[in-house]
Amino acid sequence: MHQLFRGSFFNFEAIRILGMTRSEGADIAECFQAVGSIRENDPMSWQKAWSKQAEWAESLAQEAQCAGNKAAARGAFLRASNYTRASSYMMTGDQMGTSDSRVVPFLQKAAELFRSATKLLDSLVYPLQIPYDTKDGKLSLPAYLYCPRPSTRLQHKTPLLVNIAGADSTQEEQYFMFPAAGPELGYAVLTFEGPGQGLALHEHNIPMRPDWEEVIRVVLDYVSTFAGEHEELELDLTRIAIAGASLGGYFALRAAADERCKACIAIDPVYDLYEFGANHAAPTLFAWWNAGWIPNAVINSLISLGTRLSFQSRWEIFTSARFLGVSTPVDLLQTMKKFSLHRLDGAGEAKSYLDELACPVLVSGAAQSVYFDVDDHTSRVFKGIKHQEKEMWVGADAAQGGLQAKMGAVALCNQRVFSFLDRSFDVKRIKV
């Protein structure tokens, strides 16, 4: 496959943006113009390049609005939002565990541009605020509910897909996955930013938590109330599915333990976050540290040195520390251990959160993933699911969904996912 950058990190992130073209989140020439002005492993040139494209797209959106061109304005607002999000992506800040002070204004701007686009979408879009209790008081989790218009609804009530974000995505970016496709197929799609994600993290300083069965309980309680107050939408709360990609796939598997969940989609999920981190970096070193043979101070020093020698390492460590709410490498490693599908029961016996799944599950893998090896994650998840109705799909190359989170193959991912949901929810379609 052709590489846009020599290094895998910048190359993957550029494909991530370019892959949103099918849903109006990018334009080919704009992307190549940005890529052409970015220097390898240079976060400042990345920020400037995508900011320039964001400003250009926003100016086109305003021009189209003034001319009454709804379709052009919608697409340009979507691109401007996505480029604005991308422009802040490489910002790590100067101190581990804190946000770069520039991030919040970029994310707020991306959300503002996206809201302008939602007013021009063909689907019905409801911006929501989901009440959420934190140790410091109440917080509202921003959310969008995308519903099909009456002309595209299914014969019976409308099933709901809850699309959970991952470690470093925003719900505005999530639109380009399932929400862009679902309403046309008769599905409602809900996105939201939970603890440790998007503005809930950077603006309100709410770190990520591993027990997403608790997060989804709050979300589904709210959705139930909303559906009762909006009966005209005909939401079918007996057909709720949960989906997520990468770390969002882990969240989806935890969330699917809620009995209201009737199907689960885990796109290239992580099985154990600490094991991933150790294997991705230096497994022998961390094994010795776990055994107590290497002191914490040495681990802190070595990882800190790595963040100074490699921008990718800096981004990975600083970004992970930020969404997990920690400020040292050792604290990061200890917290990562909580994000696992392993668990111990009351008697100390080894169990799995996958034991609690009682619905059909689609698990995917990415053979060319930079991060999550198929055997260590996808296959372990699939084998650990006891429910008989389960399917596994592994993308062999990029065009077949072989990159992490199906970047560059979003259309294929939507085809696979909604076909799985049609089977799970007994949706019958007329052949075309």
Where does the pLDDT of residue 431 fall: very low under 50, low under 70, confident under 90, or very high at 90 and above?
confident
- 431: tokens are 């052949």
Q: At what angle do helices 70-87 and 43-67 cross, to 10 degrees?
A: 160
Residues of the chain with CATH 1.20.1440.110: 1-120
Give the catalytic positions in this structure: 246
Task: Decide if domain 1-120 falls under CATH 3.40.50.300.
Answer: no
Report, as an integer, the average pLDDT of 125-145.
Answer: 89
Residues of the chain with CATH 3.40.50.1820: 123-272+339-432
Q: How far apart are CA 163 and CA 144, in angstroms?
A: 10
Report, as an integer, the average pLDDT of 142-148.
Answer: 97
- Per the CB < 8 A criterion, the answer to whether 194 and 220 are in contact is no
Q: How far apart are CA 200 and CA 303, in angstroms?
A: 27
Report, as an integer, the average pLDDT of 33-57.
Answer: 97
Alpha helices in 257-400, H assignment, sequence order: 273-281, 283-290, 296-309, 311-324, 329-336, 379-384
For residues 353 and 136, which has the higher predicted lDDT (pLDDT)?
353
Q: To which CATH superfamily is domain 123-272+339-432 assigned?
A: Alpha/Beta hydrolase fold, catalytic domain (3.40.50.1820)
Q: Compute the mean pLDDT over every residue in the chain, rounded to the nearest whole number.
A: 94
Q: How far apart are CA 265 and CA 147, in angstroms?
A: 20
pLDDT surpasses 80 at 344: no
Which residues share a beta bridge with 130?
141
pLDDT surpasses 70 at 137: no
